[in-house]
Amino acid sequence: QAQLVESGGGLVQAGGSLRLSCAASGTFFSINHLAWYRQAPGKQRELVADITRGYSTNYLDSVKGRFTISRDNAKSTVYLQMDSLKPEDTAVYYCNTRRAIWSWGQGTQVTVSS
């Protein structure tokens, strides 16, 4: 079973940037279709971005052009570069496979102030 450790969150002003990282262990990282999710208070968890093992990417409409997902298979790490952040991006961010088959990590809190 994979173990996931997300990091890189924090408090940032609107328009700022953050880079999230998710390190995975205990799994065949390189063969998986990976994703970032987020959950805001009182809302369901939603898919933000995903990246296939062939490096194709997809994004939630509201983050297109602002967020970039990438992966480093040698480091078993997936990243989420977040630019032009908005208050509505405030949430706890998690990584997992696209089908969310791994146990969830603790997530990393992103707070964007207006």
Chain centroid offset of residue 32 CA: 15
Give me the mean pLDDT over the 21-37 stretch.
Answer: 89
pLDDT band at residue 28 using 50, 70 and 90 as cut-offs: confident
Single-letter amino acid code for the residue at 63? V
pLDDT in tens, 51-98: 999 999 999 999 999 999 999 999 999 999 999 999 999 999 999 999
Per-residue three-class SS string for the chain: CCEEEEECCEEEECCCCEEEEEEEECCCHHHCCEEEEEECCCCCCEEEEEECCCCCEEECHHHCCCEEEEEEHHHCEEEEEECCCCHHHCEEEEEEECCCCCCCCCCEEEEEEC
Residue 48 confidence class, pLDDT cut points 50, 70, 90: very high
Check if the beta carbon of residue 36 is closer than 8 Å to that of residue 69.
yes
Question: 40: pLDDT confidence band, cut at 50, 70 and 90?
Answer: very high
- At residue 19, what are phi and psi to the nearest 5 degrees? -125, 115
